[in-house]
A and B are shown apart, each in its own frame.
Chain A
Amino acid sequence: MQKPMDDSYKLYIDGKWVDASTGKTTSTYNPANGELLATCADASKEDVDKAVKAAWKAWDSWKKVSPQDRSAMLLKIADLIDANAEKLAMVETLDNGKPIRETMAVDVPLASDHFRYFAGAIRTEEGQAVMIDDSTMSIILREPLGVVGQIIPWNFPFLMAAWKIAPVLAAGDCTVIKPSSTTPLSLLELAKLLDQVLPPGVVNVITGKGSGAGNYMLEHTGFRKLAFTGSTGIGYQVAEAAAQKLIPATLELGGKSANIYFPDCPWEKAIEGLQIGILFNQGQVCCAGSRVFVHEDIYDRFVEEAVAAFNKVKVGLPWENDTMMGTQVDEKQLKDILNYVEIGVKEGATLACGGVRVVENSLDKGAFMRPTLLTNVTNNMRVAQEEIFGPVAVVIKFKTEEEVIAMANDSEFGLGGAVWTRDINRALRVARGVETGRMWVNNYNNLPAHAPFGGYKNSGIGRETHKVILDHYTQMKNIFISMTEAKIGFY
Chain B
Amino acid sequence: MESNDITAQTSIEELLEQYPKANEFFLEKGFRCLRCGEPFWGSIEKFLKSSRFTGDINALLDELRAYVVE
Interface residues of A (CB under 8 A from B): 153-155, 180, 182, 209-211, 214-215, 218, 230-234, 236-237, 254, 284, 286, 328-333, 335-336, 339-340, 343, 386-387, 389
Question: Does the CB pair A332–B16 fall under 8 Å?
Answer: yes
Question: Does the CB pair A387–B38 fall under 8 Å?
Answer: no
Given contacts A215-B42, A237-B42, contact A389 B36 (CB under 8 A): yes
Question: Does the CB pair B35–A343 fall under 8 Å?
Answer: no
User: How many A-B residue pairs lie within 8 Å, measured between CB atoms?
Assistant: 78
Report B-chain residues with C-beta under 8 Å of the C-beta of A218: 41
Report A-chain residues with C-beta under 8 Å of the C-beta of B27: 336, 339-340, 343
CB of A240 to closest CB in B, whole Å? 9
Provide the bound-state CA to CA distance between A83 and B10, in Å. Answer: 45
Question: Does the CB pair B39–A254 fall under 8 Å?
Answer: no
User: Can you list, as one digit per residue, whether each of B10-44 has a CB less than 8 Å from chain A (1) or not (0)?
Assistant: 01111010001001100100001011111111100
Contact of A335 among B24, B38, B40 (CB under 8 A): B24
Report A-chain residues with C-beta under 8 Å of the C-beta of B20: 331-332, 335
Provide the bound-state CA to CA distance between A254 and B36, in Å. Answer: 8
The number of residues on chain B lying at the interface, defined by a beta carbon within 8 Å of a beta carbon of chain A, is 20
Report B-chain residues with C-beta under 8 Å of the C-beta of A389: 35-37
Report B-chain residues with C-beta under 8 Å of the C-beta of A230: 36, 38
User: Can you list, as one digit per residue, whether each of B44-56 has a CB less than 8 Å from chain A (1) or not (0)?
Assistant: 0000001000000
What DSSP secondary structure best describes chain B's contact surface? mixed
Question: Does the CB pair A332–B34 fall under 8 Å?
Answer: yes
Contact of B36 among A237, A286, A331, A335 (CB under 8 A): A286
Question: Does the CB pair A332–B37 fall under 8 Å?
Answer: yes
Given contacts A211-B11, A332-B16, A332-B20, contact A231 B42 (CB under 8 A): no
Provide the bound-state CA to CA distance between A434 and B34, in Å. Answer: 28
Most buried by A among B27, B36, B38: B36
Given contacts A211-B41, A215-B42, contact A254 B23 (CB under 8 A): no
Q: Which 4 pairs across A and B sit closest by C-beta, in order of nearness?
A: A231-B35, A231-B36, A333-B37, A211-B13
Which B-chain residue is minimally distant from A214 (CB atoms)?
B41
Given contacts A210-B13, A211-B12, A386-B32, contact A336 B38 (CB under 8 A): no
Contact of B41 among A210, A340, A387 (CB under 8 A): A210
Contact of A153 among B36, B42, B50 (CB under 8 A): B36
Which B-chain residue is minimally distant from A235 (CB atoms)?
B35
CB of B7 to closest CB in A, whole Å? 15
CB of A412 to closest CB in B, whole Å? 12
Report A-chain residues with C-beta under 8 Å of the C-beta of B14: 211
